[in-house]
A and B are shown apart, each in its own frame.
Chain A
Amino acid sequence: MSITSSTASLPQRDSIRGAPPAGERAFSIAFSAVLGLGIFVALGGLAAILIWAVSAGLPRLDWGLFTNAPSTARIETAGFRTAIFGSLYVIAGVIVLIIPIGLGTALYLEEFSDRTSRFARLVDLNIQNLAGVPAIVFGILGLAFIVRGPVGIGFVAAAGSLTLALLVLPTIIVSSREAIRGVPRSLKEGALALGATPWKAVWTQVVPYAAPGVLTGAILSVARAFGEAAPLLLVGAVTFVTFNPRFWSDGYSVLPVMIYQYATRPQASFRLLAFAGVLVMLVLVLFMNSFAIWLRNRYERPLQ
C-alpha cells in the first residue's frame, strides 16, 4: 500500500483495539474500591455517632431537660436548664466579641495593611498558629489571665466568653478574609473614585458584599464554641449550679461540661441524662453547621 520503502523502520505498531491488560484493570477496580472504603469509614463514622446519639439520647428526651435545673437528689427529673442558660450567656458574649474583632482583623489584613509588612506577616503567622493551638491551652490562658491575673474577673460566664472568643477568633478571621477577598475590586474602587474615604468605601461596598461569608465564619465559630468543653473546665464552668447564672457574677456551667459531669457519675440514670444532653447538643451544633455551610454555598462567589 504505502510506496515508501521505510515502512519497515517505522516504530512497531499494534492495533489500538482491545482493553488494557487485565492486571491494570484489576488494579484500577481495586483502587476505586479502596477509595470507596476510605469515604465509607469517614462518613460511616459520622453516621455511627449520630445514630448512637439518637438511640442513646431519645429515651430520656423530654421538656424537663430544658426546664428543670440540675439535681443530684432527683435524678429522674433533673435537667440542663441552668447549663443551657450558661451556654446562652457564654455564646452571647462570644458573638459580641468575635464579630467586631474578627471582622476588624480581616478588614485590616485585606484592605488596610501592606501585606508584606512585618506587622501584617506577624499577625498572619499568629493566626495560623493559634488555629492549631489546643483548646485546653486556651483554658490555661483563661485561667491565668482572665479568671485570675491581669483581667481577674473570677469564675464567671464572662470569663468563659472571653476564653472561647480567643479560641474561635482564627475561624471567623479566616472565613472573613476569604469573603473579603471575593469582593470585586471594582466596587471599592468605584466608591473611592466618587470621593469616598477609604473606610467609607470599604464599609459601604466591601462589607455588605462579604457579609454572608463573614456570617458563615461567625456561625461556624459559635457552633465550635458551643460544643467546646475542655477550656471551660479550667475557667470555672464546673460549678454544679442549681440556679440560673448571671453574666458577671456567680458560678456557671455550660451544656457540654454539664454533660461531661453527668456522664462521669456512676449511676446509670445520670448517664441517660447525659446522652439526652448529647442529642440536644448535636442537633443544635449540626443545625448551625449545616446552616453555615448552606449559607456559604449559596453566596459563594468566584474569586476575582
Chain B
Amino acid sequence: MNADPTPEHALPDAAAAPTVGSSMPGGSGSSETASTGFDLSTALGGARADDEERARAEVVFEADRLSVFYGDFQAVRDVSMQIHAKEITAFIGPSGCGKTTLLRSFNRMNDLIASARVEGGLRYHGEDVYGEGVSPVIVRRKIGMVFQKPNPFPKSIYDNVAYGPRVLKWKKSDLDDVVEESLTRAALWDEVKDRLDQSALGMSGGQQQRLCIARAIATKPDVLLMDEPCSALDPIATLRIEDLMRELKDEYSIVIVTHNMQQAARVSDYTAFLTVDIDDESGQRTGELVEMDRTDRIFTNASDPRTEAYVSGRFG
C-alpha cells in the first residue's frame, strides 16, 4: 500500500464529515492505482456535504485502515469507512473483492477461522471491536447477521426466533411477545402465526430468509449485517426482502453485501465499491475499497473511473 496522502487519518468525531476511501480523481483506472482516503467534503465542495452530514445519524462503525488476512494471504487491504445509523449501506464489487470478508469482520465472524487475522482499527460506537477484553461472543450479541443462503435451524419457527433471546437468557414469559414482535417486524407473522410449532424447514426460501431476519432482530441489535441475503431467492421473494429492509431502516443500521448492482441502487442510501487487486508476482487477490459515496452519486456520477466502469457494466 502506498503512502496515504491524508495523514489526519485519525477518525473525526461522529458528527463531522466522514472520511471515505476513494482513488485519486482522474486516475488512470489501472489496477495499480492505489485507493486512498481523502476528505469527501473537500472533494465535493464544502456546503453540500456539510448539510448532508448534518442530516445523517451517528456513526455506528468506523473502520480505520482495516485489513483482513487468512494466514499469509491478505483478503482485504486498508479499508477506511464509516457506517451511519439508520441507513442502508451496500458493499458492491466484483467477486473476490473481499466484500463478504469485510462484512464478517464487523461482527468478528472471521474469528471462527483459525488462520484469520485482522489489522487496523474497527470501532463500533467508538469501542474497539478487536480491542483487549472484547469477547467476540458479546460483539455478535449486539450485531445481527443474515446469511447468503437461508439457514434456519431444523427446529420450529418459534424456536428459531426464540434462539437469540434464549442465548441471552431473557425471561421465558417474554418470549411469546418477542417472537410475535420479531415476526411482525419481519413481515412474516400473518403467514406463520398458526403454525409456529412447525418446522422452519417446511417454509419457502423467501419465508425462511425472512425468518432468519426475524431471528436476527429478536434480540434487538442496532445493526443488521446482510451477506447477499437475496442471492438464493427468486425475484418476488427478493423484492419482499428489499421492502422489508426499507421498513427496518427506521430502527436499524443495515449493511448489505450484494453482487446485484440494481439491488444496491434500489435499496441502499450509501454504497461502497470495492475492487480486487491482483498481485503480479504471487497472483494473490486482495480486496480494496475504491470509493464510498451516496448511492445515487455512485451510480450516476462516480468520482472514480473504475466505479463508473463497474456500475455501467464494463467490467466485473
Residues of A within 8 A of B (CB): 1-4, 6-7, 9-20
Contact = CB atoms under 8 A, between A and B. Distances in A.
Q: What DSSP secondary structure best describes chain B's contact surface?
A: loop
A7 B13 CA distance: 17
Given A1-B13, A2-B15, A15 B127 contact: yes
A186 to B, nearest CB: 24
Given A3-B55, A10-B85, A17 B133 contact: yes
B301 interface: no
B135 interface: yes
Contacts of B14: 1-2
B222 interface: yes
A19 B135 contact: yes
A4 B86 contact: yes
Contact of A1 (B15, B54, B86): B15
B124 interface: yes
11 contacts: A1-B58, A2-B58, A4-B58, A6-B86, A9-B251, A16-B127, A16-B129, A17-B127, A17-B131, A19-B133, A20-B137
Interface in B210-240: 220-222
A24 B212 CA distance: 25
Given A4-B57, A16-B129, A20-B138, A11 B15 contact: no
B196 interface: no
A3 B57 CA distance: 6
Contacts of A4: 57-58, 85-86
Given A1-B14, A7-B58, A18 B133 contact: yes
A44 to B, nearest CB: 28
B125 interface: yes
Contacts, number: 57
A14 B139 CA distance: 10
Nearest to B169: A21
Contacts of A7: 57-58
B278 interface: no
B142 interface: yes
Contacts of B124: 16
Given A2-B14, A16-B134, 4 more contacts: A2-B15, A3-B15, A17-B133, A18-B133
Interface string B2-32: 0000000000011100000000000000000
A17 to B, nearest CB: 6
Contact of B222 (A2, A3, A10, A17): A10
A20 B136 CA distance: 10
Contact of A2 (B57, B139, B221): B57
Interface in B105-137: 124-125, 127, 129, 131, 133-135, 137
Contacts of B220: 11-12
Interface string B30-56: 000000000000000000000000111
Interface in B85-112: 85-86
B86 A13 contact: no
Contact of B135 (A11, A14, A18): A18
Contact of B138 (A1, A6, A16): A16
B55 to A, nearest CB: 7
Interface in B172-198: none
Closest 3 CB pairs of A and B: A2-B58, A11-B220, A4-B57
A139 B89 CA distance: 71
Residue from A7, A12, A15 whose CB has the most chain B CB atoms within 10 Å: A15
A13 B85 contact: no
A16 B139 contact: yes
B206 to A, nearest CB: 26
A13 B142 contact: yes
B134 to A, nearest CB: 6
Nearest to B222: A11
B142 A16 contact: yes
A20 B15 contact: no
B138 A19 contact: yes
A7 B253 CA distance: 12
A6 to B, nearest CB: 7
Given A13-B222, A15-B127, A16-B138, A3 B133 contact: no
Contacts of A3: 15, 54-57
Contacts of B86: 4, 6
Contacts of A20: 135, 137-138
B51 to A, nearest CB: 11
A180 B134 CA distance: 49
Contacts of A2: 14-15, 57-58, 85
A16 B220 CA distance: 15
Nearest to A20: B137
Contacts of B135: 18-20
A14 B142 CA distance: 8
Contacts of B13: 1
A17 B134 contact: yes
A4 B249 CA distance: 14
